[in-house]
Amino acid sequence: MSTGVLIVDDSHFMRNLLRQILEEDYDIVGEASNGAEAVKLYKEQQPDIVMMDIVMPKCNGIKATAAIKKLDPDSRVIMCTSVGQREKMKLAVKAGADGYVTKPFEEPSVRKALKDVVPA
């Protein structure tokens, strides 16, 4: 059974980039462009992992992560953050983030972040 991943980023380019990196080894169960969509899709798809951008319109990744963790404390959320967002990252960890990757994405770091939160 393959691991289902929900990709959340307001940038279409970033969602595509993550999809390209992950689709060979993971099942992409959905994509969302803001935190509100992410929470809705999480309820519908129940992915194994959520790749969550922090800065998004409507509902940011920190609020969405907190909402997903409230729905499912066992959910696994990896934050996607830009260099220099240390304070936001601290808030994300407080909200329940299980890991993070830094943009610009590099395939090895994305794969490592997923392997770190998915039991073998």
Start-to-end Cα distance in the chain:
12
State pLDDT tens for residues 45-95.
999 999 999 999 889 999 999 999 999 999 999 999 887 777 888 889 899
Which CATH number belongs to the domain containing residue 14 in this structure? 3.40.50.2300
**Least confident span in 9-23, 62-76, 81-95, 96-110:** 81-95
Look up the pTM and report it. 0.92
Number of independent structural domains in the chain:
1
Domain boundaries, position 74: 4-116
* pLDDT value of position 10: 95
Q: What is the pLDDT of residue 22?
A: 94
